[in-house]
Each structure stands twice: as C-alpha cells, then as structure tokens.
Chain A
Amino acid sequence: MDLAIETRALNKSFDSFKAIDELYLKVPAGSIFGLIGPNGAGKTTLIQMLTGIIRPDSGEAFILGHSIRERDGSIRNRVGYVPDVPVMYPNFTVAEMYRLGSKLYPFWDWERCRELQRGFRLLESQRIRNLSRGQKVQVALVMALALRPKLLLLDEPTAGLDPVVRRAFLQAIIEEVADQGTTVFYSSHNLNDLEQSADHIAAIFRGQMLFSHSLDRLKRSVHRLQLIFAKDTPVDKIRELSGLVDWQSSGRVVTITITGELNTINPRLAVLEPELIKELNLDLEGIFIAFMKSKGYYYGSEKWEVSTGQ
C-alpha cells in the first residue's frame, strides 16, 4: 500500500506543553483522509509539521515518500496546502499570487487555474488584503489545485465559509480525486462534510492518536444500542462490558455506545437478559462525541469539563 503521508513516533512540545505525543499515522495514497479532534488537540501542529513550517522534536514523517527533514524544497512540488487562515502577500493582487504560484511550482496548470478562478468568481485585480477570509481561502485553494498536486493538506478550510462556497470547495476536491487520484488530508470540525467525502478518519486528542480507521470499518465497529429491561437495570454488569465507550441510563432503558462487531456484541448483551435490544443510528458526530466523553472531554452540568479521564 502506497502511503501519501506517514509519521513514526512524532513528537513536538512548545515550552512545557506537549502538542504531539508519539504519533503514528498512515494515510493511503488516493484517499480522502479526515482528521478530527477537539480544539488544541494538535491538528494544526501536525499539518504545519508536514508542510515544513514547524520542525518536530523527534520522530520521522514522510510526505509522498520524502522525509520532512529534507532541506530540499522540491519535495513540496506536488503538495498543495490551504491553512485555516491564509496570509499570502497582502499587497499582491490575486493575479500576482497566481503568477507567483506559476513560478514556484513546476507543474502549474494555467488552464486549471483559470477554470477554477472563473468557477469561484474571484476578481483577479483585487489585492489580497482586501479579500474576506472566505475569499482568501478560495484563492489559496485555486493555487493548491492549479499546481497539480499529488497531496492536498487542508487545515479547517471550510470553517466560516458560506454553504455555497463550501459545496463548491468540496466539489473541486472530489473532482481532483476522481480525475487525478490526489490524496486529500484534511482536518475539520465539520463532521458532515467528512462523513460524506472521507474514506478514512483519524481522531486526535491531546497530541495522541485516538483511532485511525476507514470510515466503513469505523461505522461497523462502533454501535449505539438501546437495552430495555423488565426490572432493574444491571448497572454493574453494564459498566463491565468490554468495549464500552459510553452509557446512559434512564429508568429501565439503557443506551450504550460500544465498540466491536455486532455478532460479538449481541451474545455479550444477551447475558444481561434485556427485554429488548434495539440498534440506534450512530453517525460520525455521535461516535466522536462518545469517544471524547470517554477521554474526559465533555459537556458537564454547567461548564466544559476536562477531567483526568481514563
């Protein structure tokens, strides 16, 4: 399996704050890979290390087969990057940014650039500093796609974009993957977008990898089940269920979120002798929130709590 991105035992600290902690990541080539995690979990730090803005303390990372420690800039010839707040050069016009891109990237495609530019309806004569954040993201995306990338690194690109632009953005990426087999690695809080477009999801929390699966496998391996009991709910036995991520009880009804394949879970549940077992729908947001809760990151009675967790 070809890996577009790979990290091994990656570590990064800022003063005494550990931002990335022994991270192992594998992103298959040609996939759309989503990175999710709470704010401050290390998503931006990871992406900045992959693009070369930040250097890791220890560990290895490879993009398109090249180590990020290489001094040669040409490893980024086919890597497009859209940060969460694109800066670029405020005094340059949009046209001048494109011109710069065409000089810096050897595979720059003016046709594709113009085609995307027209699609996004940007004014080439406008200066970057006069653009709204969403428009800057669009310019950055046009540039990232016009360079004919093999890998796209996107850091919360659709945050704060209106739905029309967001849809256009997603569409452009999907077309790129369909036509060119580009790998897309993107961090986002927008789980709906990810659920629709990603084939792999990884979750990061406090600099550590929580899980990394194909989306299909993730959905197959986590289930939300409702158990209705005739009499008292066997709370102790429920707590001891292996693979339990989260549970809530209300009277005789217990809702559990549990990992594992259904055919192994059902026998384990049958032991508890519930009157009825019903499977509820569990989307990516539900999976994410359940996992975060198990790690101690959840909404408490009055305020956000981050306990020491498990």
Chain B
Amino acid sequence: MVCLVVQKEGGLLWLDINPRLSTPIYQQVVDGIKEAVARGILVPGERIPTVREMAAGLSLNPNTIAKAYQKLEQEGIIATMRSRGTFVADRSSADLNVARKKLTDMVEKVLIEAYHLGLDREAIEQLFADSLDEWEKRGEK
C-alpha cells in the first residue's frame, strides 16, 4: 500500500495505490484522481502535483504517472499549463479540451488538402487570415 498525502488548505488528498493489484498502476492513479474530483476533494482550477512530484512522492515510475496524466488529460479531467503546472480542469474547460481536440483534427485535415493543392505556408496563413477577416466582417453585420 502506498499513500500520497498532499497538504492543502482545508483538507487532504489521498491516493491509495496498491502495486500488487491486477489493475495497472496508471489506471489506479486515473481512477483515484477522478474519484477525488467527483467527491469534491479536488476542485476545478486546483493545482495537482507534477509527474515528477507524484512519482517521487509515491516511489512510482514516472512513465506510469505520465501515462496516467496523459489519459486524464485526454478525458478532459486535468489540463497542463506549460510552466504553470497541472490543474484540475474546469467543467467548461473540460468541454473546451474536447472541442479543441476536435478542431485540431479538423485543421489537420484542411492542411492535408492544402498540401495536395500545392499551397505553401504563406498561402495557407493567408487563406486563414482571409477567412477570419470574412468571418469577422460577417459577424459585425
């Protein structure tokens, strides 16, 4: 049994990780954090330990923790702000993350088409700029 106790104002966060279970460790971390969020032990916008902090604190493999965080981020439970740390995602930002991913996929498809049409970077950027201008113009009307 390995426990992480993180002091925060007003309460404690606990993660009960048992390496000897059949459930993979990363899954236990994912489930543990999801549960903490669901119970309100972790609130949106709150900072959670970095991969390094958690790995060192629990004496677990950093790759395993990274895998857990990746899954959590994919599901929109947490979000990593570069150089600011990892935070519990807002409800809205959870949707935003999912939407963001969708958009990224769509943009990628556009880029593939553009490549096949023979457009270079400048032309693509111009295309987007023109479309944005058009969009804003229409929005003003």
Contacts and interface: CB of A to CB of B under 8 A. Distances in A.
Interface of B: 2, 19-27, 51-52, 55-56, 59-64
Contacts of B23: 219
A220 interface: yes
Kindly name the residue among A215, A279, A285 whose own CB sees the greatest number of chain B CB atoms within 10 A: A215
A175 interface: yes
A198 B61 contact: yes
Given A178-B55, A179-B52, A281 B22 contact: yes
B63 A31 contact: yes
Interface of A: 30-32, 167, 170-171, 174-175, 177-179, 192, 195-199, 215-216, 219-220, 223, 279, 281-285
B60 A284 contact: no
A215 B24 contact: yes
A270 B6 CA distance: 46
Contacts of A223: 22
Contacts of B64: 199
Contacts of B56: 171, 174-175, 178
28 contacts: A31-B63, A167-B59, A171-B56, A174-B55, A174-B61, A174-B62, A177-B63, A178-B52, A178-B56, A178-B62, A192-B19, A196-B59, A197-B59, A197-B60, A197-B61, A199-B61, A199-B64, A215-B25, A216-B26, A216-B27, A219-B22, A219-B23, A220-B24, A281-B20, A281-B22, A283-B19, A283-B22, A285-B20
Contacts of A179: 52
A32 B61 contact: yes
A224 B100 CA distance: 42
Contact of A178 (B20, B25, B51): B51
Contacts of B25: 196, 215-216
B30 to A, nearest CB: 12
A223 B24 CA distance: 13
A283 B21 contact: yes
| Main SS at interface, chain A | helix
A195 B63 contact: no
A170 B62 contact: no
A177 B61 contact: yes
A215 to B, nearest CB: 7
B63 A199 contact: yes
A177 B27 CA distance: 21
A283 B27 CA distance: 15
A192 B55 contact: no
A222 to B, nearest CB: 9
Contact of B20 (A30, A195, A220): A195
A174 B21 contact: no
A283 B26 CA distance: 15
Nearest to A222: B22
Nearest to A284: B20
Contacts of B20: 192, 195, 281, 283-285
A267 B130 CA distance: 58
B66 to A, nearest CB: 9
A282 B22 contact: yes
Contacts of B26: 216
A77 B73 CA distance: 38
Contacts of B22: 219, 223, 279, 281-283
Nearest to B50: A178
A187 B91 CA distance: 45
A196 B19 contact: yes
Contact of A216 (B24, B52, B55): B24
Closest 10 CB pairs of A and B: A283-B20, A216-B24, A178-B62, A196-B19, A178-B52, A195-B19, A199-B63, A199-B61, A178-B55, A32-B61
Nearest to A223: B22
A174 B59 contact: yes
A193 B68 CA distance: 20
Contacts of A283: 19-22
Nearest to A181: B62
A244 B24 CA distance: 22
Nearest to B24: A216
Given A30-B63, A196-B60, A283-B19, 4 more contacts: A170-B59, A177-B62, A178-B56, A196-B2
